[in-house]
Amino acid sequence: MDDYMFRSYVTECKCVQEETQYLEIFNYSDSSRNTNEQHRFRMDELPTEFGNFLHRRGAFEPPKLPPDVKLTGGIRLVLQLDADHTETFSPSYISLSHQDYEEMVRAFHLPFRAIESSSVVGPFFWCAFDQDDDDPHLQIIFRKSDVRKKGRTRGWELMLSHSFRTHLTTGYAKGTPSSDLVESIRHLRACAAQVLHPLLLPLVVLSHDLSMKNDVKQRSAREWLRNLEHAVSMRTEVREEDSKYVRDAMVDLDQINRDLVECHSQVLWKRPQAYQEIIKLVAAAMDRFWDRARDDPAYGGRGAEVDRLHRNLLARLDFYQAKLKGIENYAHITLERLTIQRAALYNIIAQKESKLGLQMAGEQRRLAHAAKRDSTSMKLLSLMGAIFLPSTYLASVFSMSFFDFIPDSPTDQGAAAAGGISSSATTTSSSSGDNNTGGGHIYSPVSPLLWIYFAISVPLTVVIVVGWRWWDRRREVKYAQEDADIEAGIEKMEAQIMATMRKRTLSKVRTWDVGFAK
């Protein structure tokens, strides 16, 4: 079943090209013969050289040893360090050709199930024995992949197989530049004398993944949280020049909200609970290995170097477990404080929105009063029109030539009849003898009483304008008082709303020392 599913999954996978290296570490009973080599495969000779490396042919053929020298342990790895293809850790992608990948898995006795873990995200560890009773292999899958960042997949992957007959660990390791796999391989080569233990490389990778970077990140998140607490609670010791959240005496709530979310994600980086489960699985794998190797003379038995290394690795796992427990508690407190600050921020935003609603209601009331004033002005204009338009209309009608209210003298009537001039269109005036010519009269088109019109209309207009101005000033004073009453009413309404909100929220509040007052 495993063989069929493996071939089926490999066929469905897509291939990407990555630079490939190999690592060989061999330890002998004669330490002068120990080897520790890491080299790149030439791309033009990759198919041939890769197959020779897998099957230990040609340049990779095992050396001929004297009868008194034997191989005590070693590790042989196919490496793809700094894998930089954008799809290198995407599901159903492999970074070797289908033929090379299948040949590597079969020649190195790697777990067939590893191809099914290409879609796994986060840390993943699996360990079990294969079904070869003649030459049992302890198979290990240890990987961590992440979602895309800046268009690229990230992560690292280990596939290992340890033979209890040859005491060799074979495997495949791949990692992107963001991983610590390069440092892990350098660490492994520095501990070449201890490669007999198959869990050495997984522990090295785990130690780099749980390095002090995680602790520093949690401390940085806590410091970030303190700045957010200062900004949200508006503590008196916070000054504008010391806080990036205060600008011109105003708090940037949008920036605080974004930073709260980012700080929360920083706290959840490398979640301790996930790694605690990984440590338990690694510890179980170590027990599974030691149960098989304890009685094997090749591993030295109790008190030997492998036994001391095994106990050292177990102690390191206990150390990581305690460290992760502390980080878990520390992160839990940070998350609780972030929750409190988020609730406080939402409360502040709700209050500001309520205040904005009150301000809008106040502006609407002001607009309503302004509209009322405009309607009052229109009513005044209508009233003035109602007063003046009738008299204006009557004056216009009676000033027409159809009406004549000035009686004519007989002389004027005769002169008018002789000249064809209407008596209503002229005005006679008496004059002295110097102005009489031939006994006739001089007619003036303007009445000498015209001054009466201006003497009455001008003072009347002045009186009306002054009176209207006086009345308008009194009206403005009245409106100003109404505006003051409106503002006072808005503030009173806001105070009542906030008091009601506080009463509902704090109806069951208790002070810190209530329980200790007695």
Domain ends where: 193, 225, 240? 193
How crowded is the C-beta side of 99, counted as CA atoms within 13 Å?
A: 5
CA pair distance 223, 155, nearest whole angstrom: 28
- The helix (H) or strand (E) run that includes residue 220 is helix 212-233
Domain count, the chain: 2
CB 332 within 8 A of CB 216: no
* 218 Cβ neighbours under 8 A, 6+ residues apart: 267, 327, 330, 331, 334
In-domain check, residue 12? yes
Name which of 204, 441, 224, 408 is nearest 313 in CA terms: 204
Residue corresponding to tokens 């609407």:
364
The reply to whether 90 and 14 lie within a common domain is yes
What is the mean pLDDT, run by run of 10 residues, along the chain of 518 residues? 84 90 92 90 77 89 88 92 88 89 92 88 89 86 84 88 92 90 92 91 91 85 84 58 57 77 83 90 93 84 84 93 90 87 81 78 78 75 67 64 55 48 42 46 58 70 77 81 75 69 50 41
Specify if 389 maps to a domain. Answer: no
Same domain for 138 and 232, yes or no, is no
Instruction: Quote the pLDDT of residue 211.
Output: 84
Residue 129 covered by a domain: yes
Residues 313 and 358 grouped into a single domain:
yes
The pLDDT score that the predictor gives to residue 153 is 84
Q: How far apart are CA 258 and CA 265, in angstroms?
A: 11
One domain for residues 171 and 220? no
Domain boundary among 324, 353, 377: 377
How far is the C-alpha of 47 from the C-alpha of 41, rounded, in Å?
Answer: 9
442: helix, strand or coil: strand
CA distances from 82 to 19, 78, 213, 360, 387 (A): 8, 13, 20, 59, 96
What pLDDT, on the 0 to 100 scale, is given for residue 423?
A: 42
Q: Quick one: pLDDT at residue 419?
A: 47
* Residue 454 forms part of a structural domain: no
The pLDDT of residue 234 is 61
Half-sphere exposure of residue 104, counting CA atoms within 13 Å on the CB side?
28
Q: Tell whether 158 is covered by a domain.
A: yes
Q: Exposed/middle/buried for 443, CB within 10 Å: 0-12, 13-18, 19+?
A: middle
The verdict on residue 422 lying in a domain is no
pLDDT at 235: 55
Per the DSSP assignment, residues forming a β-bridge with 80 are 174
Same domain, 161 and 263: no
How long, in residues, is the chain? 518
Q: Is the pTM of this model over 0.85?
A: no
Cα separation values, 114 from 88, 105, 110, 158, 386, Å: 15, 9, 8, 9, 98
**Per-residue CA distances from 47 to 54, 60, 101 (Å):** 11, 14, 11
The answer to whether residue 121 is domain-embedded is yes
126 in any annotated domain: yes
Residue that has been written with the tokens 């007999």 in this structure: 196
Domain end residue (candidates: 136, 163, 193) = 193
Question: For residue 420, what pLDDT is reported?
Answer: 46
Q: Which residues of 241-253 are buried (b: 16+ CB within 10 A; e: fewer)?
A: eebebbeeeebee
Claim to verify: residue 299 and residue 264 sit in the same structural domain: yes
Shared-domain flag, residues 170 and 266: no
Do 51 and 177 lie in a common domain? yes
Domain co-membership, 266 together with 354: yes
Query: 9 with 151, same domain?
Result: yes
The verdict on 77 and 111 lying in the same domain is yes
User: Which residue range(s) make up the domain with 13?
Assistant: 2-193
128 and 235 co-located in one domain: no
- Residue 192's alpha-carbon distances to 76, 168, 169, 198, 336, in angstroms, are 12, 13, 12, 12, 45
C-alpha span between 392 and 390 (Å, rounded): 5
The neighbour count for residue 3, using CB atoms within 10 Å, is: 9
Q: What is the pLDDT of residue 150?
A: 76
Helix, strand, coil proportions of the chain in percent (round to 5)? Answer: 60, 15, 25
Transcribe 25-70 into DSSP letters.
EEEESSGGG-EEEEEEPPGGGHHHHHHHHHHT-GGGSPPP--TT--
CA 91, 93, 98: angle at the middle one, nearest 5?
A: 145
For the CA atoms of 170, 27, 289, 176, what is the dihedral angle to 10 degrees? -40
